Amino acid sequence: MLEVANLEVVYNDVVLVLRGLSIDVPDGSIVALLGCNGAGKTTTVRAVTGLLDVHEGDITKGAVNWNGADISDFKPSRIVESGITQVMEGRRIFAELTVEENLNAGGFTVRDRSQNAEAHQRVMELFPLLKSRRRSTAGYLSGGEQQMLAIGRALMTDPQLLILDEPSLGLAPMLIEQIRDIIVDINKQGTSVLLIEQNAVMALSIAHYGYVMESGKVVMDGEPKKLLADEDIQEFYLGLHAEGERKSFRDVKHYKRRKRWLS
């Protein structure tokens, strides 16, 4: 179980990005973390996976607890070995390597050969498409295939918790649905998932629990049903009117609804 408690992160000793963020990801569940650009979603991922150092960021307060141990000062490689792997925003596959080599690089931390082969088998079953393109250079795959490769690469470490940072970014609606179904499948096989998204419809349709972030804090949390019923969420994340219709741009141009969670 991942528990992020009261986390505060500062970049370059000046820019305060997370101001007391707290989220829980229970074992075996899908948790959605919603928020618009600049809310601090990716920073949260970096804090959990130990990549803050690369970006001159520091945890100044709070703790990241994973299965009871504080991992906030672990190296990235140690965090991966302890069972947390992320799929980075924008896919970040190794474009010059082949699909197979990408997967092998992904399984770097797994020294046991049979375990590695098992993880490979699992990825091939989840993504039959990758099987046929094993020898091709990863950079020449389509966007959807690249996203699948990125997820497959992360699964090669056989994680207990998979963090997906905006997997729907830049994909067609049909592909988003595919990715969504795959996330559900992965979760059914026993991996907990922390799903970072701007696409609230997609995230909340499969999550067991959801958090909404704004400027470095959780401003709302609850079951997806509760979140979807909330007027503010409907307004700002689903673009729905109070009566449930879509608004035209003309109507909203000079209109700003006050977010009630800020009051």
Partner 1 sequence: MAPAAGSLRSLDLRRGAPLGFLFGALGAALIFGLVQLANDPALFFQTFMKSLGLGSVYALIALGFVLIFKATQTINFAQGALAATGALFVAFLVQERSVFTGDAIQADRYGHIPFTNLRNPLNAMGGPDWLYWVLSVAIALVFAAAVGLVVERLAIRPMVGEPLFSVAVITLGLEIMFRVFNNDAVVIDFRPVHAPWGLEGFTVGGELINWSFIAAMVTAAAAFVAVYFFYRSRLGIAMRAVAFDQEAAMAQGINVGRVFAIAWAAGAVLAAIGGIFATQPPVDQTLSVDQETANIAFRALPAVILGGLDSVTGALLGGLLVGVAEIYAGQYAAANTSWLGAGYPLIVPYVVMLIGLLVRPYGFFGTPEIQRV
Binding site for partner 1 (CB under 8 A): 49, 51, 54, 75-77, 79-81, 85-86, 88, 92-97, 101-102, 104-106, 108-109, 153-154, 157
Report the sign of the C-alpha dihedral through residues 168, 207, 80, 112, in that order.
Answer: negative
Between residues 88 and 207, which has the closer beta carbon with respect to partner 1?
88
- Report the C-alpha gap between 39 and 115 in whole angstroms: 38
Distance in Å, CB of 186 to partner 1, minimum: 17
Between residues 9 and 220, which has the closer beta carbon with respect to partner 1?
9
Between residues 133 and 153, which has the closer beta carbon with respect to partner 1?
153
Between residues 60 and 77, which has the closer beta carbon with respect to partner 1?
77
- Report the C-alpha gap between 204 and 165 in whole angstroms: 15
Distance in Å, CB of 15 to partner 1, minimum: 18
Distance in Å, CB of 105 to partner 1, minimum: 4
Distance in Å, CB of 120 to partner 1, minimum: 13
Burial 100-132 (b: 16+ CB within 10 A, else e): bebbeebbeebeeeeebeebbebbeebbebbee
Between residues 33 and 80, which has the closer beta carbon with respect to partner 1?
80
- Any long-range contacts for 132-138 (C-beta under 8 Å, 24+ apart)? 133/99, 134/98, 134/99, 134/100, 135/98, 135/99, 135/100, 136/98, 136/99, 137/95, 137/96, 137/97, 137/98, 138/93, 138/94, 138/95, 138/96, 138/97, 138/98, 138/99, 138/101, 138/102
Distance in Å, CB of 137 to partner 1, minimum: 11
Between residues 157 and 192, which has the closer beta carbon with respect to partner 1?
157
Distance in Å, CB of 235 to partner 1, minimum: 35
